[in-house]
Amino acid sequence: MTIHANVLITGATSGIGEALALYYAANGAENLFICGRDKTRLDDIKKRCCDLGAKVHANIIDVADSETMRKWIEKSNKIAALNLVIANAGVSTGEETEANVRNTVQTNVCGVVNTVLPVIELFKLRNDTNKHIAMLASIAGYHGLPTAPSYSASKAFVKAWGEAMRLSLKNEGIKVSVICPGFVRSRITDKNTCPMPFFMEAPRAAQIIARGIAKNKGIIAFPWPLRFSAWLMSCLPNVLSDLIYGNLPKKV
């Protein structure tokens, strides 16, 4: 299994991002580069990761700002050659207003693009094989959800892009993994009022993700019953999937 010494994680102040930062700090990361938009939470996770033995570089950054992201990633790579970059930052949409839809796309789609593109450029300059990109999609990316249209669409982009980039970058020695979790505790799920089958705590999810990345899995989707259900639904003709998805309980 690959050891990633220098790890960069976006959206590291809550949920899966926070749990992944703590996991890598406790499991061999020498340098940990993290970002978020809330200073209080970022300072807290920085301290906790430092206490676990990692050297932590934390910055307040909006992943939707492409130029700021590029500069941060390039600066981080100069401090320590990055081995693993996890494009994790994401938001839920809430009510499907124009502002919320645009914010979802800017963060969940453009934020991932703004993270991944500069990293690819840097990775292509190196001849080693310890170069890995992980993108956070979702089980919701398997099929559009009427309860979360913009969110599921944004995650479908990440899933499809990541799967394609895995093959596209293989000859460059760059590994790519797409992460498709189900319901994992976060500030997003704390607001959910809908049923959340196979609900999982963030530290357990981080463990599954990190082990999948270390094994260079292309798709890290869990829990398996939810993944299988989502995959099966995506294979059904619309007349059947419309009937099933049309009866899902609505969020309040």
**pTM listed for this prediction:** 0.90
Q: What percent of the chain has pLDDT over 70?
A: 90
Q: What average pLDDT does the segment 184-194 reach?
A: 66
Average pLDDT of the segment spanning 82-111: 96
Task: Say yes or no to pLDDT of 251 above 60.
Answer: no
Q: Is residue 223 reached through a cis peptide bond, with omega within 30 degrees of 0 on the bond before it?
A: yes
Most trustworthy range by pLDDT among 20-24, 94-98, 141-145: 20-24
Written out in words, the top-level CATH class of the domain with range 6-245 is alpha beta
| Residue 94 pLDDT level (bands cut at 50, 70, 90) | confident
**What residues contact 161, with CB distance under 8 A and at least 6 apart?**
112, 135
What's the confidence (pLDDT) of residue 190? 54
Mean pLDDT, residues 99-112: 97
As a whole number, mean pLDDT of residues 163-192 equals: 88
pLDDT of residue 20 exceeding 90: yes
